[in-house]
Structure 1
Amino acid sequence: MSGAPEFTIEINQNAYIPMGGHEVHAVAHIRASGQPVGVSGGARGAEVIMVDSSGSMDFPSTKLKAAKQATKAAIDTLRDGTLFAVVAGTGMASMVYPFDERLVPADDRTRKEAKREVDKLRARGGTAMGQWLLMARRLLEPHTDAIRHAILLTDGKNESEREQDLQEALDYCEGVFVCDCRGIGLDWRVDEVRKISTALLGDIGLVKEPADLAADFTRMMENAMGKSVADVALRVRTISNARVKYIKQTYPVIDDLTARRSETGPNAGDYPTGSWGGESKHYHVCLEVEPDEVNPHGRRRPCQISVVLPDGAGGIELAKAGVFAEWTDDEELSTRINQEVAKVTGREKLANAVKEGLQARKDGDEDTATARLVQALELANEAGDEHTARLIGRVVEVEADGTSRLRNNDEAEMELDVESHKTARVGPPGA
């Protein structure tokens, strides 16, 4: 695996469990020492840029103009030899460059030709993101030896196909490529686009100002160019009387992976982590473990966590570490919470409070919305998360006497919804 990063795993966990307890919490810090952006090595890149070209992109016209500039900036960021294509998304998907359904290597000629075709884009028709994704899959699927990545830009709701159509497209695309998503303006649905980014292990972002889109596309493409190994899995093996209750990615974004387990053997399952370069990702693993009746105070290893590159039946193990359990009747020991576990669980509570508060407001339950968002504000302040606290403060106002009320700010609600699942703003756990 020439050019692939080296992986390490550091486990932070609550060391002791009270007698009769069953839950073991651990945070796995996984780090990959990769190559800097722009340095060749590892697998070849394969990129598809999906640009919303529906009629709404002309209202105002600055959106389509910005989308063109951003797409051209992303094309300029492609390394020589990277396979790529540009797709126009309306109520269907159509090739912008090249003209037939295939990827072409990036070089001076193809970049110039692609940018010339992007300039010809016109806004028309509806929005069917499932069709865009299926086109991206057809383009990327043959290139199994490449780091397969896509960018999806939209400004509206997925009104030209059924919700079931989008879900079926996602099921078909899952595991084939990673997709980063961006919404421009305030007329798109965060839950709809997040469904795409979550299923395809990508990022989601709100671009408030069209003028900021080119810089954002450049950053996304630079990040994609820094990847050097694809389809990495987190493998969790448990002993016979232990099981995984849940597993969540907690950095750089919060994402529940529990339902995405694929069985790989007795008491072993893989969870997808996407493509890697030089970066860190962190995971919260919660186990349910039955105490040992013969040796109730003994220290045991109910779980082994490893980073695996799937390859045939067993895969290639890149790093591994153990999770341990020790029962005690010493209350001081059993109530001692590991600092990293506390940070992670606190951040999860914060994200849940924001999610429930925003949903309650959409449902017209302003009392619940206010209570949950005030709770989220308190959690953000306790965690020292000034960025999230500032976003929440634009949605709910707390007076000096403790009274609170919701503000009317659609843009702030959308930004809070997008940003609340991200943890990069406050730095990685352990920093």
Structure 2
Amino acid sequence: MSEQAQFTIRVDQNKYLPVGGQEVNAIVTVEATGPLETVAGAAQAAEVIIIDTSTSMATERISEARKAAQAAIDTLRDGVHFAIIAGTTKATMVYPSRKEMATMTATTRDAAKQAVSRLIADGGTAIGSWLRLAADLFAPYAGAIRHAILLTDGHNQHETAAQLDAALAYCQGKFVCDCRGVGTGWEVAELRKVASVLLGSVQDIPDAKDLEADFRAMAQQAMGKAVADVALRVWTPQAAKLKFVKQVSPTLEDLTGRRTDAGPQAGDYPTGAWGREVREYHICVEVPPGAVGQEMRAAWVKLVQPDLGTQLAAGNILAQWSDDPAQSTRINPRVAHYTGQAELADLIQGGLQAHKDGDFATATARLGRARTLAEESGNEGTAKLLDRVIDYDAATGTARLKPNIDRASQIALDVGSVRTVRTRKDPDEG
């Protein structure tokens, strides 16, 4: 499958370091192109849909969740392995009734939709148990595109944080999970942790009526994935130190702690499954200082499928020492842009926490600074979310908190804080 897909790696950096300089920064852009539709059509895929059926869902949410799950079932193509789980204080098979996956056909599609139509809301919330069952269902399908959708409207009140962490450790690397929170009773930090470990996304759905379109879009995206279990492999010279590897687009995700050794001086950082898409990574390497004019490879970056031993693309991060300040002090525009986007996310999350703690002066300062950064970087989506919680004067750059900030606005801003915008195209990109 992977041979048909075309991957490219582009490295943006200023390779020149001042005399004595040691820190090398680069933005690595990975793009998947080529006949991915053909690949996706042939790729083995497995999908699990997890619906929170706790008591708090016993409103219009459960009926909208049923419709959403049925829309996702309709979107999955024939031949896909699939299962539906209902989540309360335990995980229960909805379809099929046994602890296994079904294969999508016209018959199983109708049967699954009928089973979903009978879902009722009654019970508590133990997200870790839901995820463990999903991991067990995915176990026979190593090498397939393995994707789950998780919907909840509440926080994980019937498990300890340690229990959830243990469940996530059990599930890590076994599937990708996109998380959705409906209403305002769920915790962003909790779902963000799940999505982070399982390489998925988090999105807030304030109105349950929007679930159906969102589930359909998630299922379509999952069906568009073509290459499974891809990793970014980074090699560094013996005397160098890899400081961090972070995804910076389309969302911020620190992958540094996810490293697995991949031979001498090399490590793999998981990126999950790929379809036709572009992602960008910020890599920072500390190298020993060199002589003026000396050039070295600071890192060798590859996109690989570790389980198959397949290399999909590669690129170099370089370092060269210069005594010309015009060369060595220039900051690459892409590096500067994504450093600013990371600062923007930190300011927003810090500002929201300060507001929660009752420190309104700190909240105002951080959110105001975030609004300025959002404006400067062209992140219009984040700017609009900030405008829901602060009054901002663009002329003076001053801000003040709105008197009554509703929880839906706080959730939307928190969720959106890690969503970045790409830099505008350079002239040499065409």
Give TM-score scaled by structure 2 length: 0.95
Q: What is the distance in 2 between the residues matched to 1:373 and 1:116?
A: 47
Distance 2:240 2:42 in 1: 37
Report the counterpart of residue 333 of structure 2 in structure 1: 339
Partner of 2:297: 301
Q: Which residue of 1 aligns with 2:8?
A: 8
Q: Does 1:259 find its partner at 2:254?
A: no
Q: CA deviation at 1:398?
A: 3.0
> Cα 1:348–1:84, aligned 2, differ >3 Å: closer, same or farther?
same
More displaced 10-residue stretch of structure 1: 318-327 or 127-136: 318-327
Quick one: distance in 2 between partners of 1:31 and 1:67? 34
The answer as to whether partners of 1:150 and 1:179 remain within 8 angstroms in 2 is yes
- 1:78 to 1:235, Cα distance in 2 relative to 1, 3 A: same
The partner residue of 1:405 within 368, 386, 400 is 400
1:397, distance to aligned residue in structure 2 (A): 1.8
Take 2:112 and 2:188, find their aligned partners in 1: how far apart are those partners? 30
Structure 1: state its 5+ residue gaps.
Answer: none
Aligned to 1:240: 238
Residues 331, 50 of structure 1: alpha-carbon distance in 2 compared, 3 angstrom cutoff:
same
Deviations 1:367-423 (A, max 9, x none): 111111111001001112121111111112235766532222221111010011112
Residues 280-313 of structure 1 show CA distances to partners (whole Å, capped at 9, x for unaligned) of 1110001111112xx343111121000011136x
Gap runs ≥5 in structure 2: none
Contact 1:34-1:279 within 8 A present in 2 as well = no
In 1, Cα distance between equivalents of 2:39 and 2:268: 30
Tell me if the contact between 2:24 and 2:286 (Cα under 8 Å) persists in the aligned partners.
yes
Q: Is the 8 A contact 2:82 2:102 kept in 1?
A: yes
Secondary structure at the aligned position of 1:241 is classed as: coil
Confirm whether residue 311 of structure 1 aligns to residue 299 of structure 2: no
Matched, 1:56 2:51: no
Structure 2 equivalent of residue 421 of structure 1: 418
* Residues 43 and 145 in structure 1, CA contact (< 8 A), matched pair in contact too: no
Residues 289 and 39 of structure 1, relative CA distance in 2, 3 Å threshold? closer
**Partners in 2 of 1:82 and 1:126 — Cα distance?**
30
Alignment equivalent of 1:143, drawn from 141, 144, 147: 141
Cα deviation 1:253-295 (Å, max 9, x = unaligned): 1000011111112211000000011111110001111112xx3
Tell me whether 320-329 or 333-342 shows the greater mean CA deviation: 333-342
Tell me the equivalent position of 2:29: 29
Distance 1:38-1:110 versus aligned 2 partners, 3 A rule = farther
- Tell me which amino acid in the other structure corresponds to 2:330: R
Which runs of at least 4 in structure 1 moved beyond 2 Å after TM superposition?
Answer: 1-4, 34-43, 398-405, 426-431
Q: Structure 2 residue aligned with 1:94, among 62, 74, 92?
A: 92
Matched residue pairs, number? Answer: 423
Cα RMSD for the two superposed structures: 1.6
Q: Which moved more, 1:125-134 or 1:329-338?
A: 329-338
Are 1:360 and 2:360 an aligned pair?
Answer: no
Shift of 1:37: 5.4
Alignment of 1:165-314 (within 5 A): 165-292=163-290, 295-311=291-307
CA distance in 1, matches of 2:223, 2:392: 44
- Are positions 1:388 and 2:382 aligned together? yes
Q: Report the Cα distance in structure 2 between the residues aligned to 1:395 and 1:356, rounded to whole angstroms.
A: 14
Aligned runs of 1:54-93 on 2, under 5 Å? Answer: 54-58=54-58, 61-93=59-91
**TM-score, scaled to structure 1:** 0.95
Helix, strand or coil at the partner of 1:274: strand
Distance 2:288 2:300 in 1: 16
Matched residue, 2:154: 156
CA apart distance, 1:39: 6.9
Does the Cα contact within 8 Å between 2:2 and 2:227 map onto a contact in 1?
no
- Structure 1: distance between partners of 2:375 and 2:10: 28
**Is the partner of 2:384 in helix, strand or coil?**
helix
Identity %: 48
